[in-house]
Amino acid sequence: MDKPYRPQLSNAARPATFTVPAVDEHGAEVPTAIAGEHPLTLYVDKREIVTLMTLGGAPEALAIGYLRNQRLVQELEDIVSVQVDWETDAVAVTTRDGLGAQEQRMAKRTVTTGCGQGTVFGDLMEEIDGIRLRDDVILTRDTLYALLDNVRRHDTIYKQSGAIHGCALARGSEILYFVEDVGRHNAVDAIAGLMWLDRVEGSDKIFYTTGRLTSEMVIKSAQMGIPFLVSRSGLTKMGHDVAQRIGMTMFGRATNKHYLLFTGAQRFRP
Amino acid sequence: MDKPYRPQLSNAARPATFTVPAVDEHGAEVPTAIAGEHPLTLYVDKREIVTLMTLGGAPEALAIGYLRNQRLVQELEDIVSVQVDWETDAVAVTTRDGLGAQEQRMAKRTVTTGCGQGTVFGDLMEEIDGIRLRDDVILTRDTLYALLDNVRRHDTIYKQSGAIHGCALARGSEILYFVEDVGRHNAVDAIAGLMWLDRVEGSDKIFYTTGRLTSEMVIKSAQMGIPFLVSRSGLTKMGHDVAQRIGMTMFGRATNKHYLLFTGAQRFRP
């Protein structure tokens, strides 16, 4: 069997934490691990697209997932290579045929990118109504608890340094990917990139995040076709509205053996 | 004495929380307060600038502070009116003379807006080196503890619903403003807007945030001339680098009678 196509990738992960001096309330010197944060400017065919502030743990997957989630690239085969160079804080993506028709959309989109500030919200909402999540997949309470336990045992940068968001993609209770970043959109984009690279499909998976379930997180999960969304944190009204509209099974405040099920009860067996 | 200039403002705060049904791990129905989240599209002189996802608690101040922090408007007197209309999820800002020379910058900037993803980072870093924070202001440990205690007592939406970031501007231990939002950049921008409206100067103030001290938070505080930055959370390497470069007095993990002092010890009396 032919191996599936894979772009040429650099392998340029950065160290996740750095130790800096600090002084605590007792006057004691406390060397403290803090999370890395690096600007990474994304160029597609030498054209500057965006500067991402990232932990740098999976920069190639981040670049690919960003282009995927922003709908700038339609399929992995359009990407020839992804080369990260930390000397210049740049990632150069070469495409097969250029972004082409996407440039038009980009021109429109550039005034509305961001996080809390901006976002591709208008476009995303249009897309939402075309999404159908699978309804023949089930999550049991025991599997949810086992997943939360696996997340808890997972060795995280957060435990060392805080100031970080974590996302995981799981098949049942098994964690397939766990990505942390200083921005939660980066973490979810990196997972989208890894899923593309490995041909992992979302329709029977669970997306876990330490972060808040805002509209954008719900929309990005839905775009990947993922029917289950689990967060350790709370949610916002618009996140709730979107999840309800597309029938996503969404849990908040999920930790240890606690959770709140907000929407999509039809896929859950308590 | 003449009253200081104030633009015409609507007064269109939205409810902070909404109650939605949820089911907990015991099968009990648990009506749960969740934070509001609303798109708010900012128009300046009828030109669309950005869509902000916001809690909507201080939308007029948010619009003003966004324009201030993005350097799109140079002084409050340039703004004639700020009208929020939740029927259309829009805020219309009318300026005295238009954005003029700023339009050029904006065109350049639009590919690099965001949070974790994007940001006006390049421009901001250039500006940083021109900032001088006051060195004749002192914070004592007792004042820091009193401030943390005041923050703790403050009635917050976070306590009800989570999924929210809070920022405060303080004079000593006195909280002047406390703004919460679903995006922490919105909270800091709204405070910048309130400071402009009330002619409150930053050079002897303390900025408190529940959120992480990333480079952008440090830069925005520095732009407002604020020498003290206090966070309940952790920090990132670039936040640390920037704070060190400009000599900001920065505390992380500050809660109850605990803190870690990372930079700028010259202004602190433990």
pLDDT digits (tens, 9 = 90+) for B129-173: 888 999 999 999 999 999 999 998 887 777 776 667 889 999 999
CA distance A45 to A93: 6
Across the interface, whether the CB atoms of A118 and B52 are under 8 A apart is answered yes
Residue-level length of chain A: 270
- Identity of the residue in B23, B114, B262 whose CB atom sits nearest the CB atom of A118: B114
Quickly name the fold that domain A139-269 has.
Answer: Cytidine Deaminase; domain 2 (3.40.140)
Q: What pLDDT sits at residue A100?
A: 67
Residue-level length of chain B: 270
Angle at CA A267, nearest 5°, toward A264 and A268? 95
Average pLDDT, chain B: 87
> Looking at beta carbons, which residues of chain A come within 8 Å of B53?
116-117, 119, 121, 214-216, 238
Across the interface, whether the CB atoms of A111 and B185 are under 8 A apart is answered no
> Looking at beta carbons, which residues of chain B come within 8 Å of A46?
none
User: What dotted CATH number matches A8-121?
Assistant: 3.10.20.10
- Identity of the residue in B118, B234, B238 whose CB atom sits nearest the CB atom of A114: B118
Quote the minimal CA–CA distance from A113 to chain B in Å.
6
Across the interface, whether the CB atoms of A260 and B161 are under 8 A apart is answered no
Across the interface, whether the CB atoms of B252 and A114 are under 8 A apart is answered no
Q: What pLDDT sits at residue A262?
A: 96
CA distance B113 to B117: 7
CA distance B233 to B213: 7
Domain ranges of chain A: 8-121, 139-269
CA distance to A36, A59, A158, B154, B242, per residue, from A180 (Å): 11, 11, 8, 31, 22
pLDDT digits (tens, 9 = 90+) for A208-241: 998 889 888 898 899 899 999 999 988 999 999 9
Across the interface, whether the CB atoms of A50 and B22 are under 8 A apart is answered no
- The CATH architecture that domain B8-128 belongs to is Roll (3.10)
Residue of B nearest to A182 (CA): B116
Across the interface, whether the CB atoms of A49 and B253 are under 8 A apart is answered no
For chain A, what percent of residues have pLDDT higher than 70? 87
Q: What pLDDT sits at residue A124?
A: 63
> Looking at beta carbons, which residues of chain B come within 8 Å of A187?
none
Q: How many CB atoms lie within 10 A of CB B171?
A: 12
- HSE, CB side, 13 Å, CA atoms: give it for residue B96: 9
DSSP per-residue letters across B182-193: SSHHHHHHHHHH
Best interface-test mutation with A: which of B46, B117, B249 has the largest number of A CBs within 10 A? B117
Below-70 pLDDT ranges, chain B: 1-2, 100-125, 161-163
Six-digit token pair at B24?
């907990």
Residue of A nearest to B125 (CA): A39
Q: Is A117's pLDDT higher than 50? A: no
> Looking at beta carbons, which residues of chain A come within 8 Å of B110?
110-111, 113
Strand B38-44, strand B47-54: pairing: antiparallel
Across the interface, whether the CB atoms of A52 and B262 are under 8 A apart is answered no
Q: What pLDDT sits at residue B95?
A: 95
> Looking at beta carbons, which residues of chain B come within 8 Å of A50?
111-112, 114, 117-118
Across the interface, whether the CB atoms of B37 and A186 are under 8 A apart is answered no
Six-digit token pair at A4?
């599936």
- Identity of the residue in B30, B118, B261 whose CB atom sits nearest the CB atom of A52: B118
Q: What pLDDT sits at residue A162?
A: 66
Q: Are B248 and B269 within 8 A, CB to CB?
A: no
- Identity of the residue in A51, A235, A236 whose CB atom sits nearest the CB atom of B119: A51
In which residue are the tokens 């003029």 written? Answer: B100
Best interface-test mutation with A: which of B17, B23, B26, B37 has the largest number of A CBs within 10 A? B37
Angle at CA B66, nearest 5°, toward B60 and B69? 140
Best interface-test mutation with B: which of A17, A20, A37 has the largest number of B CBs within 10 A? A37
Burial of B130 (0-12, 13-18, 19+ CB in 10 A): exposed
Strand positions, DSSP E, B26-144: 32-35, 38-44, 47-54, 79-85, 90-95, 139-140
Across the interface, whether the CB atoms of B51 and A27 are under 8 A apart is answered no
Quote the minimal CA–CA distance from A103 to chain B in Å.
12
Across the interface, whether the CB atoms of A183 and B237 are under 8 A apart is answered no
Quote the minimal CA–CA distance from B143 to chain A in Å.
13
Q: Is A107's pLDDT higher than 70? A: no
Nearest alpha carbon to residue B35 among B19, B11, B12, B53: B19
Q: Are B203 and B224 within 8 A, CB to CB?
A: no
Q: What pLDDT sits at residue B183?
A: 77
pLDDT digits (tens, 9 = 90+) for A133-162: 999 999 999 999 999 999 988 877 777 766
Across the interface, whether the CB atoms of A163 and B236 are under 8 A apart is answered yes
Nearest alpha carbon to residue B214 among B239, B249, B240: B239
Q: What pLDDT sits at residue A108?
A: 42
Best interface-test mutation with B: which of A43, A68, A103, A117 has the largest number of B CBs within 10 A? A117
Q: How many CB atoms lie within 10 A of CB A253?
A: 20
Average pLDDT, chain A: 87
Across the interface, whether the CB atoms of B37 and A215 are under 8 A apart is answered yes
Quote the minimal CA–CA distance from B31 to chain A in Å.
10
pLDDT confidence tier of residue A64, bands split at 50, 70 and 90: very high
> Looking at beta carbons, which residues of chain B come within 8 Å of A260?
22-24, 30, 32
CB pairs under 8 A between A and B: 230
Across the interface, whether the CB atoms of B116 and A184 are under 8 A apart is answered yes
CA distance A190 to A178: 10
In which residue are the tokens 């995006």 written? Answer: B183
Helix (H) or strand (E) holding B238: helix B237-246
Kindly provide the ipTM of the predicted complex, given to two decimals: 0.81
